[in-house]
Structure 1
Amino acid sequence: MKAVEIRKDIYWVGAIDWSMRSFHGYDTSRGSSYNAYLILDEKITLIDTVKEPFKEELLERVASVIDPAKIDYIISNHVEPDHSGALPFMMAHCPNAKVITSIPQGLKGLKARYGDLPYEGVKAGDTLSIGKRTLQFVPTPMLHWPDSMVTYCPEEKILFSNDAFGQHLASGSRFDDENDLSVLYYEAKKYYANILMLYGRQAQAALKALKDLPIEMIATGHGIIWRSHVQEIHDLYEKWSHGALEKRAVVVFDTMWHSTEQMARTITEAFQEKGVPAVFYDLKENALSDIMTDILTSEYLAVGS
């Protein structure tokens, strides 16, 4: 398991979950990844960890670059265990490391989950000098947990975005320009629709907080890293968070004796006759996460049961 250099002395050291097919009931037919990043500087910094079952993979990737015992800081952008699960394991191999997390919610969440560790809380506007680089912390509460934050490196123009801009997607290629762009946009939309759609106002607030930062790379917590289509994914988040809709319809139904199905078929055809593209979903046969992806940007929704 080798680290992947994404910028000079900055490495992806995460794990790929090729087999994951469900995430809290969200259908993940393309798997996922748990992304962590290692920065080599005067103070060696690990940004996020991975889900606990993948802890050895994380350690091995870090060890392919440096001795893990030399790590000075571990940044925890988000308490949820798909990002923090390997934290106790890594702390056992990084005896001198401090854990940087948001206050108060990050501190509260990590303490409740992992007990006493050498924590250091940060808030909006705080920075951390790690040598020739600086890390800036931007809280993004409820995107999608109260503790969530992102970390920005101005010298590299890299945003370590954790859940924002991510996708549940397993890929052997780390960057957007190395993958099928149509798949990336669909998986990013699916991720937003199923995890972040309820938090549109919070997403708008986060985008506003980030708007003055020059960003050349978005190093996400799941899926691929954006480097060639940063503006495009930012614009899609603007669209989705403001609820911009397209002239299309989603027809969703459940049926016992097919009478509701007959109505759903009739309604679907009626939309089409009016020139409105419509999609037809039987709840018994279709994944809820796929349905929500279509609902996100559709002007019309018809539900029958």
Structure 2
Amino acid sequence: MFNSVSITDQIYWVGINDRRTALFENLWPLDHGVAYNSYLIVDEKIALVDTVDAGQTSEYLGKIKKIIGSDRKIDYLIVNHMEPDHSGTMQAIVELYPDIKIVGNPKTFDMIQNFYGITENHYSVKEGDILDLGQHKLKFYMTPMVHWPETMMAYEETNHILFSGDAFGSFGALDGGIFNDEVDMHFFEEEMRRYYSNIVGKYGATVQAALKKLSSLEIRTICSTHGPIWRNDIATIVSLYDQWSKYEAEEGVVIVYGTMYGNTGKMAETIGRTLSEEGIKNIKIYDASKTHASFILRDIWKYKGLIIGSCAYNTAMFPPVQNLTDKLIHVGLKNRILGIFGTYSWNGGGVSNLMKFAEQIKLPVVTEPVEAKCAACGNDIDGCMEMAKQMAKKLREQA
């Protein structure tokens, strides 16, 4: 989208849509692209809030110049977050506006020097400091580890706009619509959850601290660095972040399995069918080899029940399942009910290592694990059905 978009008569979205990059952070699939959001406040003083990825420099600078022309200069660059997808054009901005003051905190400036070698025109702010632009005043709130140590937010007091950095952000390019009431929010809620669970999820405690700090503010608009701008229904997005950061979930079950020849997958199908017969409607079954872990983790964040199956592979878990369980340990998943199943041929490793995972992550296991030799039959099938019944019972008890 080449156009800039007015948020108010003096505040503009000057972001960039990236539909070329395949992997965010070279890890997470971008099937629908991603937006890098930047904002320009034009007042007696001009402030630019965050920048965009370096690969979009020409289009980005063109948007800025179209608004302020060639004669006016940008007075301040607000750096809420130093990750290169938001600071990547900083050098180009400094070259174009050499007198610009870079606004951040001490941790910001250390990163600026290490990333870009920029050591001059630093304007340091701390909690509660206010930057006066004229009609607009920016008040700063430190939000460390949401999700980097230098992250902060800027609150514009005149229009009650929160420039939130990566918080409240989402995967997905902005396909014409910029505001939450202009886009398909079902799609963006799912991509917000995927973004949160994979990028921010580990930092639930610091997200809770940030939400508490911001709770007294009147927020009418949230301008994140990714995804749509929220200009109404603010309570909804704040509530989602509150739920996700407390590891709260709704009734439903994710079944994820790893299989070489299909036998562990057949057990997953039995579990899924029995859950359905027990009245559970939200059931997601994933082959860990076929679906990227980021999508699986998104749904694990959504649903209360988690059932993991693995065949034995060289006396260990099947590698894609091992990758997922490592990720779950890393993000500190809580408040889930766990089930475990799997298969082996000549030696174990899948189920026994899943049990070690359960001990490490400290999630309750709903029944004894079910482990079939070669292919499930008889008691193995009965065990899968019983696991599903017990999972459904536990979900109903906690509803």
TM-score range, shorter chain: over 0.9
Structure 1, 294-303 or 64-73: larger mean CA deviation: 64-73
1:41 has 2:43 as partner: yes
**2 CA distance for matches of 1:299 and 1:13?**
39
Q: Return closer, same or farther for 1:37/1:96 CA change in 2, 3 Å cut-off.
A: same
Query: Does 92-101 or 252-261 show the bigger shift?
Result: 252-261
Contact 1:73/1:100 (<8 A) preserved: yes
CA contact (8 A) 1:20 1:29 kept: no
Partner of 1:257: 261
CA RMSD in angstroms, aligned pairs only:
1.4
- How far, CA to CA, are the matches of 2:161 and 2:37 in structure 1? 14
Distance (whole Å) between structure 1 residues aligned to residue 277 and residue 112 of structure 2 = 55
Q: Is the 8 A contact 1:157 1:217 kept in 2?
A: yes
1:46-195 alignment to 2 at 5 Å?
A: 46-67=48-69, 70-103=73-106, 105-115=107-117, 116-171=119-174, 172-195=176-199
State TM-score, norm by structure 1. Answer: 0.96
Residue 5 of structure 2: aligned partner: 4
Cα deviation, residue 186, structure 1:
1.5
Shift of 1:263: 2.1
Greater Cα shift, 93-102 or 83-92: 93-102
The offset of 1:266, in angstroms, is 2.2
Deviations 1:187-240 (A, max 9, x none): 212211111111111111111111111011111101110012211111111111
8 Å Cα contact 2:171/2:188 also seen in 1:
no
Give the AA of the match of 2:100. Answer: A
Query: Shift of the alpha carbon at 1:21?
Result: 3.0
Normalized against structure 2, the TM-score is what?
0.74
Kindly indicate whether the alpha-carbon contact (under 8 Å) linking 1:140 and 1:206 is maintained by their aligned counterparts in 2: yes
Q: Is the Cα contact below 8 Å between 2:221 and 2:234 reproduced in 1?
A: yes
Does structure 2 conserve the Cα–Cα contact (< 8 Å) formed by 1:2 and 1:60?
no
Distance in 1 separating the partners of 2:124 and 2:154: 13
SS at match of 1:71: coil
Q: Which amino acid aligns with 1:48?
A: D
CA contact (8 A) 1:78 1:148 kept: yes
Structure 1: which amino acid aligns with 2:18?
D
Residue of structure 1 in register with 2:19 after alignment = 18
Change (3 A) 1:117 1:33: farther
Matches within 5 A, 1:270-281: 270-276=274-280, 277-281=282-286
C-alpha distance in structure 1 between counterparts of 2:29 and 2:55, whole Å: 20
- Deviation for aligned residue 1:53: 0.7
Partners of 2:283 and 2:183 lie apart in 1 by: 29
CA distance in 1 between counterparts of 2:227 and 2:120 reads 29
Q: Which moved more, 1:190-199 or 1:18-27?
A: 18-27
Moved over 6 A (4+): none
2:303 pairs, out of 294, 298, 304, with: 298
Q: Distance in 2 between the 1:280 and 1:95 partners? A: 55
Structure-2 separation of matches of 1:8 and 1:180: 25
Once residues 31 and 111 of structure 1 are traced to their aligned partners in structure 2, the CA distance between those partners, rounded to angstroms, is 30
* 1:243 alignment partner in structure 2: 247
2:69 and 2:115 map into 1 onto residues whose CA distance is: 27
Q: Which has the higher contact order (CA 8 A, sep 6+)?
A: 1
Sequence identity (%): 39
Measured in 2, the distance between the counterparts of 1:65 and 1:195 equals 33
Aligned-pair CA distance for 1:259: 2.1
Q: CA deviation at 1:180?
A: 1.2
- Listed one character per residue, the Cα deviations across residues 249-284 of structure 1 (whole Å, up to 9, x for unaligned) are 111111112222122222222322332332100011
* Equivalent residue number for residue 232 of structure 2: 228
Q: Distance in 1 between matches of 2:259 and 2:188?
A: 34
Shift of residue 47, structure 1, vs aligned partner: 0.4
Matches of 1:85 and 1:117, distance apart in 2 = 17
**Cα separation, 2, equivalents of 1:146 and 1:259:** 45
Q: Deviations over 1:5-24 (max 9, x none)?
A: 11011111111112333213
Q: Which structure 2 residue ranges, 5 or more long, are not aligned? A: 311-399
Q: 2-side partners of 1:184 and 1:232: how far apart? A: 13
Task: Provide the rounded CA distance (Å) in 2 between the counterparts of 1:267 and 1:117.
Answer: 61
Task: For 1:196 and 1:95, locate their aligned partners in 2 and report how far apart those are by CA, in whole Å.
Answer: 34
